Amino acid sequence: MKKIALGYALHALMVLSAFLAVAVMGLCLWLRYEWDFKHYVYELEAQKVMWTGPYLLIASSSLVMATSAVGAWAIATEHCRLLLLFALGSGMSVILGLTGVSYTLTYGIYHSDLTPWLEERFWVLFHEMDYNERSARIIRIIQEDIQCCGPSDWRDYPSFNKVVPDECRNPATGNIAGGSCAEEFALWMEPKSGWLSGIALLLVATQVEFLYHVKIEQLD
């Protein structure tokens, strides 16, 4: 009876992990291919910073989905070697998942390495915008879309004898956006990275639970 209950628990965890893996995969693909975000990443040259974490999580969730069928068959037939293969795949997915979450949180939320990286990048674009149309275009687009102004704040423009652009102003009130583009962009990124990391951590937890139950089954 205990073994039957354990089998049901493992199947339930497998179904849950499959749904979570699909959710993680979907969020990662959305971050990778959503047009506006993809445009920002390319123009900021932030592919390594903003996509490394999602790529690792895509690998982790793909491994979970690939090994789910093996796990289901191993549990149903009590095949020890297949169960060992499934446990190995789950262990690898845990490592990839934790690495992906760590990288996503390191470069995906406000209080992380993302904000200083963005500030440095925006300063480069800010100084290039007088002679580089591409740099000027992406700064204008981000200032208008995110409602920010300048790498640190709107005073950057008069400090360098530049006119505060219309994109810095609220179209309804005409007021200048007070926040820096580095901070506002990081805050805009934070919910996306937070949701992705939270679901990915839950997926990792189910895989750890798998490994624990598989160990119990082998001991029995």
Q: Which residue has the higher pLDDT, 80 or 45?
A: 45
Predicted TM-score (pTM) of the model is 0.85
Nearest to 139 by CA among 163, 123, 161: 123
Give the pLDDT band of residue 1 (cuts 50, 70, 90). Answer: very low
Q: Write out the residue range of the structural domain in which residue 209 sits.
A: 2-109+195-219
Is residue 15 a part of any domain in this protein? yes
- 151 lies in a domain? yes
90: left (phi over 0), alpha (psi -120 to 50) or beta: alpha
170 & 132 share domain: yes
pLDDT higher than 90, residue 25: yes
In a domain, 30, yes or no: yes
Note whether residue 189 is domain-resident: no
pLDDT bucket at 35, cuts 50 / 70 / 90: confident
Packed helices 114-128 and 181-219: angle between N→C axes, nearest 10 degrees: 150
CATH, residue 142: 1.10.1450.10
Radius of gyration of the chain (CA): 23
- Same domain? For 44 and 30 the reply is yes
Say if residues 151 and 182 touch (Cβ distance below 8 Å). yes
Helix H segments across the chain? 2-33, 35-44, 47-77, 80-106, 114-128, 133-146, 156-159, 181-219
The end-to-end CA distance of the chain, in Å, is 12
pLDDT tens for each residue of 142-191:
999 998 999 998 999 999 999 898 899 888 788 888 789 999 999 999 99
Q: What is the dihedral of CA 113, 119, 121, 126, to 10 degrees?
A: 180
Residue 100 CA to residue 112 CA, distance in Å, equals 15
Q: How many domains is the chain partitioned into structurally?
A: 2
**Interval 47-61 mean pLDDT:** 92
Q: What percent of the chain has pLDDT over 90?
A: 45
CB 193 within 8 A of CB 108: yes
Is-contact 200 57, C-beta < 8 A?
yes
pLDDT in tens, 95-150: 999 999 999 999 888 888 899 999 999 999 999 998 999 999 999 999 999 989 99
pLDDT at 7: 58
